[in-house]
Amino acid sequence: MPESDPPAARLHPRVLLVAGLLLVPLFLPRIHPPEGRVWEAGWDALHFPGFMLITWTIALFLQPWARSPHTPIIAAALLALMTGGVSELIHDAIGRSSSWSDFAVDTVGVGFGVAGWYLLRGGGTIGRLLFGGLVIVALALLILPAIMSTRQVQELRKRFPDLGCFQDRASRFVWTAQGNATASFDWEKGTLHVRVGPGLYSGVSCWPAESDWTGHSELRVGIENPGEPFALGIRIDDLRSASSRHGSRYNGERQVAAGTSEIRLSLDEVRQAPEGRQLDLAHIRRLVLFTGDESVGREFVINSAFLN
């Protein structure tokens, strides 16, 4: 009879099955993105257990060929980190904004994967309980900031239809830099200063505190442009917009003149934009203001953003 592989050389099918099932939501297209900042944070937090399981899975695959008990997990950690870093670089290369905060969460997941490899295999009951407690604490810390910011963002709803609210420090949770860009607030002047570096599709994203834009007819954005005129891209998503499908959302652009100007966008135009349906103005998820292919970079200031 042929000799069976030693236990250390066999992949545990249940571990791989659980890893596969838990990794599926991490890579599925976000056809129906979660609504609300807490759910968003929960979704982003999947990077933590996801990369922990990626590390374990790679280590299990490498284990049969390892000469040292430490080699599989060390190699797996390096490969998992490379996977996370390369995925963000690919996002930049194809024009999507990278998220190095996600990579930071990936790194935490890999670190916990290494710790869990030793605690779960050789730490006994105490090691397993310790590791489980650490995982719960880490997940709570990842989601807690979103829970705390949600209360502050709710206060911004009182100022709707003002989408900017740049005098309020809670606006930093609503307006965030995208791609190769930085965004800084001048709380006294009530403005948002955007610095865009070289590359594609960089600018700022607005996750509006109030998602119901029905009853309004126009989006108006006041901009101060100290440089040459340029085309400002505008993207608006509802809950059904898929991040990878151009035709599932509103995409447009407006010319920004030198000096101070105001962009006006009809919400009827926005509503009719998606292919095969109307954009749901009652559930607006995100507004993005971005530049095109910048070879050097540019700066502009958003003085106001509101619905009319």
> What does pTM read for this prediction?
0.67
Lowest mean pLDDT among 15-29, 124-138, 153-167, 182-196: 15-29
Tokens 């599925």 found at: 28
- Name the packing angle between helices 47-62 and 71-93 (round to 10°): 130
Q: Are residues 216 and 189 in the same domain?
A: yes
Kindly report the CATH number assigned to the domain that includes residue 220. 2.60.120.430
Is residue 6 over pLDDT 80? no
* More confident site: 302 or 40: 302
List pLDDT tens digits, range 222-253: 999 999 999 999 999 988 875 556 678 899 99
Name the residue range of residue 207's domain. Answer: 160-307
124 C-beta neighbours (distance < 10 Å), count: 11
Is there a contact between 256 and 230 (Cβ–Cβ < 8 Å)?
A: yes
Among the candidates 155, 177, 212, a domain finishes at: 155
Is residue 29 over pLDDT 70? no
Lowest mean pLDDT among 147-151, 187-191, 196-200, 275-279: 147-151
- Name the packing angle between helices 13-27 and 47-62 (round to 10°): 140
The tokens for 231 are: 């085309």
Confidence of residue 18 (pLDDT cuts 50, 70, 90): low
Position 2 in a domain: no
CA angle 41, 47, 50 (to 5 degrees): 135
Q: Are residues 176 and 237 in the same domain?
A: yes
- Name the packing angle between helices 71-93 and 100-122 (round to 10°): 160
Q: Are residues 261 and 202 in the same domain?
A: yes
Among the candidates 155, 179, 210, a domain finishes at: 155
Q: Are residues 91 and 180 in the same domain?
A: no
* pLDDT in the model for residue 11: 44
Q: CA nearest 164: which of 145, 183, 139, 149?
A: 183
Tokens 């900031």 found at: 145
Position 58 in a domain: yes
Q: DSSP for 81-109?
A: HHHHHHHHHHHHHTTPPP-HHHHHHHHHH
Q: Write down how long the chain is.
A: 308
**H helix or E strand, kind and range, residue 13:** helix 13-27
How many domains are there within the chain? 2
